[in-house]
Amino acid sequence: MKDDTSRKDSGNITNMIVQIYEIQTPQEAVKCIESGVDHIGSVLSTKEEWRQPLLKEMFQVSKAADVKNSLIPLFQEEETLYRTLEYYVPAYLHFCDSLTNPLGQQIDLEAMIGLQRRLKKKFPEIGIMRTIPIPRKSEGSQDFPLLENARAFASVSDIFLIDTWVQTEPVGGFVGITGQTPDWDMARELILQSDIPVILAGGLSPDNVYEALLKVIPAGADSCTQTNRIDESGNSIRFKKDFKKVEKFVSEVRRAEEVLSEKAVQLSLKLDELKEALEDREAALPAHSVRPHQIMIIEELEEEIDLKEKELKRLKYGAANIS
């Protein structure tokens, strides 16, 4: 696939993706595009209603504006998926099936991995986004198979999306639309370990996305529930967006982006200093009788360089790196 250069800016290192979900009409797509959204996400609720001309028109609107689109099918019947992809030709097919049982234990993933592998072979021009669940911080995470799940899908996915795992899913068999945030420390760990871009989702709103991005430093931010309209009881209304919230969400992502871009510049300078210090230490080692403390200092410098290189990699894994 071609590089996403719609927002690429040589002066801005991070270029974070803003992804907004449950956009189902051309009119909503236009409002998202005008608000500065980079990825527009849509949902097909049943395999019986996979063919929706209005949704196809929405995809055409986003493509004409050079904005990426993604599609979640809440079904896995393979032949229907083939017809769906041929009809819509989305930039990304997004799978958000449950990867654990209700106790948070890993299940057999081979069927899902095999399906993604076949889809990548048949539709190489379409990327695959895979949701990786993470529990809430209050749930505890000691035995949750986060990295195991990510490793299992890494070779057959183009983007990971972190979303919140709860025991009782709002849509049975699928991760998401909880309106609750996952454990951001676990999210940060996954991003450090991942070789593919990771978008952060799960309860992100205009009020918390800035804090989340500075802490987790993902490739982008996704919002669904917290940018929806609210009914008289204060509950989120599915498939109905509040575009004032969307605009503020985009603005807060861009604000975080500026801070992280400056952080990346400072981190690059610090890395240069550390590498120079390491070279000086290595050059000063005597040919014989190297002392333990000298080796320890070099090892500490190497560890610090490795950690900061990983941080810089995350800062640079923004929109310009997602294809």
pLDDT of residue 78: 96
Q: How many CB atoms lie within 10 A of CB 149?
A: 22
Is there a contact between 71 and 84 (Cβ–Cβ < 8 Å)? Answer: yes
pLDDT of residue 293: 81
Where do the domains of the chain lie? 17-261, 262-314
Instruction: Look at the pTM and tell me if it is higher than 0.95.
Output: no
pLDDT of residue 322: 56
* Interatomic CA distance for residues 313 and 316, integer angstroms: 5
Q: What is the mean pLDDT of each run of 10 residues along the chain (323 residues)?
A: 41 75 96 97 95 96 96 95 97 97 93 97 98 88 89 97 94 93 94 91 97 94 96 90 97 94 87 91 81 85 88 64 51
CATH 3.30.390.50 is right for the domain spanning 17-261: no
CA distances from 313 to 35, 48, 307 (A): 28, 43, 10
Stretch (H or E) spanning 95 = strand 92-95
pLDDT of residue 10: 38
pLDDT of residue 139: 72
Name 241's bridge partners: 228
pLDDT of residue 294: 82
Stretch (H or E) spanning 80 = helix 78-88
Is there a contact between 212 and 200 (Cβ–Cβ < 8 Å)? Answer: yes
pLDDT of residue 226: 95
* Interatomic CA distance for residues 48 and 20, integer angstroms: 25
